[in-house]
Amino acid sequence: MVRKDTTTHVPTEADNTRLAFFRKAGMAGVGLVGGSALLGALAPAAANAAPSKKQDVKILNYALTLEYLEAAFYAQAVSGGALSGRTLDFAKLVASDEATHVKTLKQALGSAAVAEPKFDFQGTTADQAKFQQTALTLENTGVAAYLGQAGKVTPAVLKVAGSIVTVEARHAALIADIIGGDVSTATPNGPFDKPKSMATILATVKKTGFIVG
């Protein structure tokens, strides 16, 4: 059953623990990069390097950019008035989760956090069927993105990222159930999810045209 509580999230002990892990990983001291610039510049820099605090920052900013996109997508969908029933309940739930992910990553990165890009979701939040399919794609993309960086971050960051990727996977399964149809939609890659590289994910996001500045 979909949770319907849309009250403002109050940081919990678990949230504070996540932030502590990030701070121990050493997130300070990296210059700001705009969201659009990140799409073109970040992938080569973090492609094959060994785990390090400096690389943690690059990868967390990559994750933050994706979380910005998801949070904005769901916030716009909730406020747009086009959704109803379980789809609206789903959007409210995930909007809260993604906003919390953004807040946690920004607090952890501090002054090193990339700025939020500008978005144009091209009508996908104004039509329930389009929203459902886009949400399914975004959630599965998020899972593949986090998995793709699993071996490239330090253990502290890996522990926190793991707590996010499982939630993204549950989002994907839930919207797949709401859409209905073939149950295999919930596990599109079979018994094992497939990671995707940063370059692949950023190219995919760029092709959507959702990030406009």
In a domain, 44, yes or no: no
**With 80 as the cut, is the pLDDT of residue 1 above it?**
no
Backbone angles phi, psi at 20, to 5 degrees: -60, -40
Angle CA 40–138–38, to nearest 5: 15
The number of distinct structural domains making up the chain is: 1
* Domain CATH number, residue 104: 1.20.1260
> Which whole-number Å values give the CA distances from 92 to 64, 99, 140, 209, in the listed order?
20, 11, 18, 24
**With 90 as the cut, is the pLDDT of residue 33 above it?**
no
29: which DSSP letter? S
> What digits encode the pLDDT tens for the residues 66-118?
999 999 999 999 999 999 999 999 999 999 999 999 999 998 899 999 999 99
Please give the pLDDT value at position 166.
Answer: 95
Cα–Cα nearest to 157, from 105, 83, 92, 96: 105
Please give the pLDDT value at position 184.
Answer: 83
In a domain, 93, yes or no: yes
Q: How far apart are CA 92 and CA 117, in angstroms?
A: 22
In a domain, 31, yes or no: no
Q: What is the mean pLDDT of residues 135-147?
A: 96
Q: What is the mean pLDDT of residues 178-182?
A: 89
- Residues, the chain, total? 213
In a domain, 37, yes or no: no
Over its C-alpha atoms, the chain yields an Rg (Å, rounded) of 16
Cα–Cα nearest to 175, from 105, 85, 100, 52: 85
Element (H, E) at 199: helix 198-208
Range of 70's domain? 52-109+117-208
In a domain, 24, yes or no: no
In a domain, 39, yes or no: no
Average pLDDT, the chain: 83
Please give the pLDDT value at position 107.
Answer: 86
